Amino acid sequence: MINLTDIKQVYLIGIGGIGMSGLARYFYQKGFLVSGYDKTSTPLTQALEKEGIAITYQDDASLIPVTFQQKDAKTLVIYTPAIPKDSLVFNHFKNSGFDIQKRSQVLGILSKDAFAVAVAGTHGKTTTSTLIAHLLRVGGVDCSAFLGGISTNYNTNLLIGESKVMVLEADEYDRSFLTLHPNIAVITSMDADHLDIYGAEEQLHESFKLFANQVKTGGKLIFKEGLSLSNGTSYGISTSAQAKALNVRIENRKFYFDFKNEFIHLENLELGLPGQHNIENAVAAIEVALALDINPDLIREGLTSFKGVKRRFEYQVQTENHVYIDDYAHHPEELKACFQAVRSLYPDKKMTVVFQPHLFSRTRDFLDNFAEILGTADELLLMEIYPARELPITGVTSKALAEKINNSAVTVCNHQSALKLVKELQPELLLTVGAGDIDTLVLPLKELFANA
């Protein structure tokens, strides 16, 4: 295991990823010299540059800053598993004998001596981990947090605190979370995903069980009711869950619920986020906060003041004529939860959805599931598949998905035509969803409605 006390400078390959950028910020704020590479400039990399971190955007080893060019025991190189193995920058460091670590390995090192709260799940983990960090901060615990999204309350994906408590988003991709040994583990979901890595849903479940078994002696496992796990506390919106939400209701487009476990009953809690799935996330977060002795009145305050995560059911426009919500949903179950939340708040409005599928393999693996859920939109604008780390798969296209959808109001489009269509439709309720570069539409769409 590397000793961080010997490290003076850090280079990150794939620095623009949400998890990688958190590590970049951490080391930079701790006084390390930090630099990195990513293939594209994004608002996130631009923010890192404004903070003082040098980034290159060409896969060219000669562009690596001179101070990082020569092998040095004081240099740590961190990479994301999503980086192509033929990357020239990656292979420069690999062939030059540098100490290269995966992002997850570094998180394991940073959290080794902390009181670690790790949140895992194929979906729900970003909102849950961000809410836990917020409840702890409001409750007086100055925790650190490495988050998988930008917290709206703190406008960052990294919190550095003075206490030993550290909240971590535990990523199941590439089995990364198996580098962690948390004091408290939360598992929000184990739905089939990343089958390009795992091969079968059973293998995915096995990895989650291994993660659950890595909770430290005397620690606590909290998992959503219905998962094939044991020796922990179940949670959910169900009378049979050990920690549960009861009396869930909507008043003035706000969600309220009661919380109950074997020790305490909290009534009339207001959550600053909509949706049954977020009520479930809140139950898990409350259970963690109570395990860390947070005052129930401060938990109540934290739930009300929680503003969510960027691109997680994020309101972009709320006027008399238009409501526009942007969400990161990219798995069928996430889409289903998002649509249900929208319908519960706006049952009488026609819902227009712009969706960008993420990954050819995920689209292929869940083609029927996507078709069923997307078919419930009143109007669907279906963008081309965002490839991310993948090459195209024969026959797997947005057109093929559209042909599966039992809805005549579906149009396959690109960024430009999507904007044009939304301008023509002037929808009263618009939802953009996806994990690719669909986020580049958000600002133009906001401006479109502002000029409507």
Q: Is residue 273 located within the same domain as residue 393?
A: no
If asked whether residues 206 and 294 sit together in one domain, one would say yes
Whether 117 and 221 share a structural domain: yes
State CA 21 to chain mean position distance.
13
Query: What's the confidence (pLDDT) of residue 198?
Result: 53
Q: What is the CATH number of the domain that holds 415?
A: 3.90.190.20
Quick one: tokens of 43?
A: 């608002």
- For every one of its 452 residues, what pLDDT tens digit does the chain have, with 9 covering 90 and above? 577 788 899 999 999 988 899 999 999 999 999 999 998 888 889 999 999 999 999 999 999 999 888 777 799 999 988 788 899 999 999 999 888 998 888 999 999 999 999 999 988 899 999 999 999 999 999 999 999 899 999 999 999 999 999 999 988 766 778 889 999 999 998 875 555 565 567 788 888 899 999 999 999 999 999 998 989 999 999 889 999 999 999 998 889 999 999 999 999 999 988 888 899 999 999 999 999 999 999 999 999 999 999 888 889 998 888 999 999 898 898 899 899 989 988 999 999 999 999 999 999 999 999 999 999 999 999 999 998 878 899 999 999 999 999 877 999 999 999 999 999 999 999 999 998 889 889 999 999 887 76
Tell me how far apart the alpha carbons of residues 35 and 54 are, in angstroms, rounded to a whole number.
Answer: 5
Is residue 265 in some structural domain? Answer: yes
C-alpha angle 84-111-104 in degrees, rounded to nearest 5: 10
> Same domain, yes or no, for 71 and 133?
no
Residues 71, 44 share a domain:
yes
Q: How many domains does the chain have?
A: 3
Q: How many CB atoms lie within 10 A of CB 439?
A: 17
**Do 429 and 383 belong together in one domain?**
yes
CATH of the domain at 258: 3.40.1190.10
254 and 348, same domain (yes or no): no
Judgement on whether residues 202 and 246 belong to the same structural domain of the protein? yes
What range defines the domain where residue 433 resides?
314-450
312: which residues sit within 8 A by CB, 6+ positions away? 126, 127, 149, 273, 327, 328
